[in-house]
Amino acid sequence: MKLFDPTSKPVERAIKLAPRPASPRGLRLGLVDNTKFNSDTLLRKLAERLAARYHVTVSATNRKRSPSHEIDEAGIAALRAESDLVISGIGD
Amino acid sequence: MSEIDEAADPAALIEAYYDAGWTDGLPVVPPSDASIAATLAAASLQGHEVLGEIPGRNIEVIADKAATNAVMAGCRPEYMPVVVAAVKSLCEAAFAYHGPASSTGGSAMVLVVNGPIARRLGINSGNNAFGQGHRPNATIGRAVRLIMMNAMNTRPGFLDRATLGNPGKYAFCFAEHEEDHPWEPLHVARGLKSHDSAVTLIASNSVYQVYNQLAATPEPLLRCFADALGNAGSPNLRGFNETLIVFAGEHADILKTAGWSRGDVQRFLVEHTRRRVADYKRAARIPGAVTAEDETTWRHVFERPEDILIACAGGRAGSWSACLPGWGKKWTRSITTRVEWRET
């Protein structure tokens, strides 16, 4: 008799990662607010600390439609064009 | 697939599925080549077909895997078209799968089946419609959850982060009682034809039964629903909500006798499902100190009449109905999908 595997693995897709910056000093910072409660506050405080310590500047912000939705293509393009570093992924 | 040594003992085979981590905690029906093929055939599917995908998770739901899980859940082959429609609903972009499937809120995937297929399969719409005892109700709902766990990588503690979950996460499927309905059935209200078969999917954190044995007119009866749905612990008070209400026999009769339309019920509930801002602030559901203005300012739970889905099911006797609050309209929308099926 056989066991039939009912599982599927995620489909593998090639993802090209941007080169990691050696230091955040002086970089342009993008923020993705996923709309979780207080995520905007937490991101703002993070940005303030990074600005004080590394002189980063907030260059782009994206407020997602909801935590469940992905950033739309226009939002991704804007982050790519205007940011060197992006912070995303606030949980609860 | 792999070979096991304990082939002669069905219980050993069931244990092997437990050992592999492929069950929902209940024993599964071990599939065979024949049962999987019959299940695919019943839905006119080829094994390699993609039923849907969740791009953000790199998930594709393949027909062969869906059929395997349906057999494991105990489905008869002819149930498969309903399972497929439910999976397609899960994969609709507007359902936004990641949220309701992974949230700490622990939603059940509630399936309301309408149309000729519900009657043909014998999906229970009557007494104990949410409860035990009917194979299609139990196994179609279970198949959808097994597909989520096994074929969509949504396992408890991993990408299913439910704090408590709820028993409806094992299975939650029922049919609408279309024969004795005050209005058009749910799938017709949502744009399909009465001769269509359909599945409506809504993610719901909870079921609470609403009781009223004294109300003889719609207003006092519906105030009980408004009160239940506006409670301070309801999810997503910030962003408006969707909900499913299921009226059972006696309550449906009150609405029918009074001549209230579906829209009348929906509009009443939009207007009356509310609390004062002060109440929500005192319960820390809205931030900030209570002001004098908050004492006379209302916060409504529903934005639009169509955000209140209404179905009829359950026994003829008893003063019970139910509210199934949605996981959140702002983040996910209920989906109605036509079942691809022809009565033969």
Assess whether pLDDT exceeds 70 at residue B1: no
Q: Which residues of A touch B7 (CB under 8 A)?
A: 1
Chain A hits for B61, CB-CB cut-off 8 Å, are: 8
pLDDT digits (tens, 9 = 90+) for B44-102: 999 999 999 998 889 999 999 999 999 999 999 999 999 999 999 999 999 999 989 99
Q: What's the distance, Cα to Cα, between the start and end of chain A in Å?
A: 46
A-chain CB neighbours of B55 within 8 Å are: 70
Looking at the predicted structure, is the pLDDT value of residue A20 above 70?
A: yes
In this prediction the pTM is: 0.92
Chain A residue numbers with beta carbons less than 8 Å from the beta carbon of B53 are 11
Pairwise CA distance, residues B92 & B140, whole Å: 19
pLDDT in tens, A48-65: 999 999 999 999 889 888
What pLDDT does A36 receive? 82
Contact A67 B72 (CB under 8 A): no
CB contact under 8 Å between A6 and B68, yes or no, is yes
Give me the pLDDT at residue B176, please. Answer: 97
Read off the tokens for B218.
Answer: 């719609």
Q: Compare all CA atoms of chain A with the CA of B22 and give the residue at the minimum distance.
A: A6
- Identify each DSSP E strand in chain B by its residue range: 2-3, 50-54, 59-62, 108-114, 173-175, 198-204, 208-211, 243-247, 274-276, 298-300, 308-312, 320-325, 335-338
- Nearest-Å Rg of the Cα atoms of chain A is 17
Pick from B1, B32, B153: CB nearest A10: B153
Under an 8 Å CB criterion, which residues of A touch B? Answer: 1-13, 37, 66-70, 92
| Contact between B4 and A69 using a beta-carbon 8 Å cutoff | no
Find out whether B152 and B53 touch, Cβ atoms under 8 Å: no
Residue contact A68–B2, C-beta within 8 A: no
Q: What are the chain A neighbours of B335 within 8 Å (beta carbons)?
A: none
What is the distance in angstroms between the CA of the first residue and the CA of the last residue of chain B?
34
CB contact under 8 A, B13 and A66: no
Compute the distance between CA of residue B205 and CA of residue B319 in angstroms, rounded to an integer: 23
Dihedral (CA of B169, B106, B331, B265) sign: positive
Return the half-sphere exposure (C-beta side, CA atoms, 13 A cut-off) of residue B88: 17
Q: 3-state DSSP call for residue B50?
A: strand
Which residue of B331, B332, B333 to mutate against A (max A Cβ within 10 Å)? B331
Q: Do B2 and A2 touch (CB under 8 A)?
A: yes
Instruction: Tell me which of B8-12, B67-71, B144-148, B186-190 is least confident.
Output: B8-12
Mean pLDDT value of segment A75-88: 92
Longest dimension (CA), chain B: 75
User: ipTM of the predicted structure?
Assistant: 0.91
**Tokens encoding B31:** 């599939």
Q: Does A5 contact B22 at a Cβ distance shorter than 8 Å?
A: yes
Chain B hits for A7, Cβ within 8 Å: 22, 65, 150-151
8 Å CB contact of B151 and A7: yes
A-B Cβ pairs (cutoff 8 Å, strict): 82
Closest-CA distance of chain A to residue B103, Å: 9
In which band, very low, low, confident or very high, does the pLDDT at B248 lie, cut at 50, 70 and 90?
Answer: very high
Q: Indicate yes or no: CB of A66 within 8 angstroms of CB of B4.
A: no
Cβ contact A5–B152 (<8 Å): no
Closest residue of chain B to A37, computed from CA coordinates:
B238
Inter-chain touch A11–B59, beta carbons under 8 Å: yes
pLDDT at B290 over 80: yes
* Partner-chain residue, chosen from A6, A7, A11, that has the shortest CB–CB distance to B60: A11
> Is residue B5 over pLDDT 70?
no
Q: What is the mean pLDDT of residues B151-174?
A: 96
- What is the structure's pLDDT at B160? 95
Helix ranges (H only) for B43-193 are 63-73, 80-90, 98-102, 116-121, 135-146, 186-189
- Residues A68, B151: C-beta atoms closer than 8 Å: no
3-state secondary structure of B153: coil
Mark yes or no for CB contact B3/A2 under 8 Å: yes
| Confidence at A39, pLDDT banded by 50, 70, 90 | confident
Which chain A residues are closer than 8 Å to B59 by Cβ?
8, 10-11
pLDDT in tens, B256-289: 999 999 999 999 999 999 999 999 999 999 999 9
**CB half-sphere exposure, B46, CA atoms < 13 A:** 3
